[in-house]
Amino acid sequence: MRYIFASFLLALSVVCTQADEIAIWNFNDGNLTVDRSTRTASMTTNFESSNVTYFSGSSINARGGDAAGSALALQGGSNTINNGRTLTWLVDTTGYTSIQVSFATQRTSTGFNNNVFQYTLDGGGNWTTFSSYTPPTSFALQSFNLSAIAGLNNNPQAGFRIIFNGATSDSGNNRLDNLVVEGTLQQTTPVPEPSVLLLFGSGLIGLGVRCRRRGKDRLKA
């Protein structure tokens, strides 16, 4: 019984963690508006508006039963004017740690083949390069584990962006779908008042005494 009581006290002091989505864009509505979010989130791009369109999407990385639907498609533009331009999303990560970003992506043969993924800790004032990648020519999962970047934890000014480079034609494009920002939700389990602990402990002791007496009675019988 002492072991049970000690285990109960230990459990009360443990911080409960739970993986959870913070913000999701599935692009099925044909816009950059966040579809579901537990915190403030927004997405913008400085591509020419005529080169921001929506083509058929993917079920890769889809969450919550989302249909494949549409995918965001960013095109090279006239004289590949959009090389060097960005897609940016800002997400309040307050209450979350171990941040991760993932999405489905593909490119056409003349689309952007040299992309840079960056993050910001101050709402976009300064950007840090985390990784570069080349999208495949058919939809596949692209993910970035940012759990080692402590500054992204519990940060109301966290944000991410992709710099697109390497398009070689006006219509060459990259598609992105089911973009998810997620982390570990922090919840501290409330510790009961001392009187509640005492009552619980007394109950366990009483239960132990009862079980012991029953065992002795059975032996006598």
Examine residue 4 and state whether it is found in any structural domain, yes or no.
no
Q: Is the pLDDT of residue 104 over 70?
A: yes
Task: State the pLDDT at residue 98.
Answer: 98
Task: State the pLDDT at residue 87.
Answer: 99
For the ranges 41-55, 128-142, 153-167, 190-204, the lowest mean pLDDT is seen at 190-204
Q: Are 186 and 117 in contact (CB under 8 A)?
A: no
Residue type, position 179, single letter: L
Examine residue 142 and state whether it is found in any structural domain, yes or no.
yes
Examine residue 9 and state whether it is found in any structural domain, yes or no.
no
What's the rounded mean pLDDT across residues 21-28? 98
Across the chain, what does the average pLDDT equal?
87
What tens digit of pLDDT does each residue of 78-99 get?
999 999 999 999 999 999 999 9
The tokens for 84 are: 């060097």
Local confidence band at 8 (pLDDT 50, 70, 90 cut-offs): very low
Category of 84 on φ-ψ map: left (φ > 0), alpha (ψ -120 to 50) or beta: left
Q: Is the pLDDT of residue 11 over 60?
A: no
Least Cα distance to 146 among 166, 128, 164, 133 occurs for 128
R_g over Cα of the chain? 26
Examine residue 218 and state whether it is found in any structural domain, yes or no.
no
Q: How many angstroms separate the CA atoms of 41 and 90, rounded?
A: 6
Q: What is the CATH number of the domain that holds 159?
A: 2.60.120.260
What's the rounded mean pLDDT across residues 126-135? 98
- The count of structural domains within the chain is 1
Q: How many angstroms separate the CA atoms of 77 and 74, rounded?
A: 9
DSSP summary character for residue 39: S
Examine residue 46 and state whether it is found in any structural domain, yes or no.
yes
Examine residue 207 and state whether it is found in any structural domain, yes or no.
no
Domain that holds residue 25: 16-188
Task: State the pLDDT at residue 187.
Answer: 76
Examine residue 28 and state whether it is found in any structural domain, yes or no.
yes
Examine residue 11 and state whether it is found in any structural domain, yes or no.
no
What's the rounded mean pLDDT across residues 62-85? 98
Q: What is the H or E stretch that residue 65 is in?
A: none
Q: How many angstroms separate the CA atoms of 106 and 142, rounded?
A: 10
Q: Is the pLDDT of residue 12 over 60?
A: no
Q: What are the DSSP E strand ranges found in the chain?
A: 15-25, 36-37, 41-45, 52-56, 70-75, 86-91, 96-107, 114-120, 128-133, 140-145, 159-165, 173-188
DSSP summary character for residue 11: H
Task: State the pLDDT at residue 16.
Answer: 46
Task: State the pLDDT at residue 188.
Answer: 58
What tens digit of pLDDT does each residue of 190-213 get?
555 555 455 555 555 555 555 555
Contacts of 48 (CB under 8 A, 6+ apart): 77, 78, 81, 82
Task: State the pLDDT at residue 185.
Answer: 96
What tens digit of pLDDT does each residue of 143-186 get?
999 999 999 999 999 999 999 999 999 999 999 999 999 999 99
3-state percent helix, strand, coil for the chain, nearest multiple of 5: 20, 40, 40
